[in-house]
Amino acid sequence: MKGKIAFEELLSVEETVINAKAFAGDSGRWDEFTLELLDVDEKRLAFMDKTGIEFALLSLNAPGLQAILDTEEAIELARKANNHIAGAVTRHPGRYAGLAALPMQDPAAASAELERCVNELGFKGALVNGFTQKNEPDTAIYYDIPEYRDFWATVSDLDVPFYLHPRMQIPAQARNYEGHPWLMSAPWGFAVETSIHALRLCGSGVFDDFSNLKIILGHLGENIPFALWRVDARMRFSRRGYRGKRPLGHYFREHFHITTSGNFNDPAFRCTLDVLGKDRVYFSADYPFERMEDAADWYDATSVITDQERVQIGRTNAIELFKLDLD
């Protein structure tokens, strides 16, 4: 299928490219990852052309700003990274748009940067790489806490999507992975970490306060669609600390949008569609940590959807979600 739109497509600036090295693991692809993360012109566009991806929304690689302990440094780098993304959009306006990197160490600064990116640079939303560390390496700040209500008010007022992207848990809070470091990142830990953060948001009451919030998860929902029925069923017996006014599954189905990034699997795709419906599922690749060819070859051939649905999920849903000026 030609004309696909993708939006878990990552890049780096010089200061953040080294942070992605752990994701390369033992693949021997680190040099290749580096080139692909830093390139937003020739190689990336050639891959897009080859795989029928017409348009991509670019964002900063994980953990990016969220691993910077000094707040002022994070604020400064956010501005630099977003200006870099804006430069790529300016050079290739028919191929790219931007998702803002945000210095979540300071909710007010994150709000101000999101407003700048949307109102001045024309960005279509934000992508944040999970929890934020601040001041001390062992900190992990999640965005369901009251200190972030004003930030969510800004997201609501701007009416733009917020992509909650995975990052690796810090060692001080990952004792259950001891002796098995392979579990901490993409094979398992990314989904665990991101799904817990998403469920915390569902249970915080934030969606009661801001009814138009739109949260995006990749990888076919970080395992939540498969588990959602049981989560709701068991919460009949365990609701201690839950601050939502409605069942958790209601918030997830109403406020979350799910991409195919990095999970090119028919049974998982079918489950996600059954739980969320075709209006809330989107194509994405997760480049460069997944190959665009793998994403596109699977998506273009999967028999889980009809050709009409293939166009909707691969293109028109994203145009509507991000209010893109594309035919």
Q: What is the pLDDT of residue 21?
A: 66
Residue whose structure tokens are 């739980």? 275
pLDDT the model gives residue 24: 58
State residue 25's pLDDT score. Answer: 56
Burial level of 130, CB count in 10 A (0-12/13-18/19+)? buried
pLDDT tens for the chain, 327 residues: list them: 999 999 999 999 999 888 766 665 555 566 787 889 999 999 999 999 999 999 999 999 999 999 999 999 999 999 999 999 999 999 999 999 999 999 999 999 999 999 999 999 999 999 999 999 999 999 999 999 999 999 999 999 999 999 999 999 998 888 999 999 899 989 999 999 999 999 999 999 999 999 999 999 999 999 999 999 999 999 988 888 999 999 999 999 999 999 999 999 999 999 999 999 999 999 999 999 999 999 999 999 999 999 999 999 999 999 999 999 997
Q: Is there a contact between 57 and 96 (Cβ–Cβ < 8 Å)? A: yes
pTM above 0.75, yes or no: yes
**Catalytic member of 31, 279, 286, 327:** 286
Whether 37 and 104 have beta carbons less than 8 Å apart is answered as no
Asked if 128 and 10 touch (Cβ cutoff 8 Å), the reply is no
Residue 44 in tokens: 């990336």
Burial class (CB in 10 A: 0-12, 13-18, 19+), 250: middle
Question: What CA–CA distance (Å, rounded) separates 139 from 136?
Answer: 6
pLDDT value of residue 302: 98
Secondary structure (DSSP) of 152-203? HHHHHHHT--EEE---PPPGGG-GGGTT-GGGSSTTTHHHHHHHHHHHHHHT
In the annotation, is 286 catalytic? yes
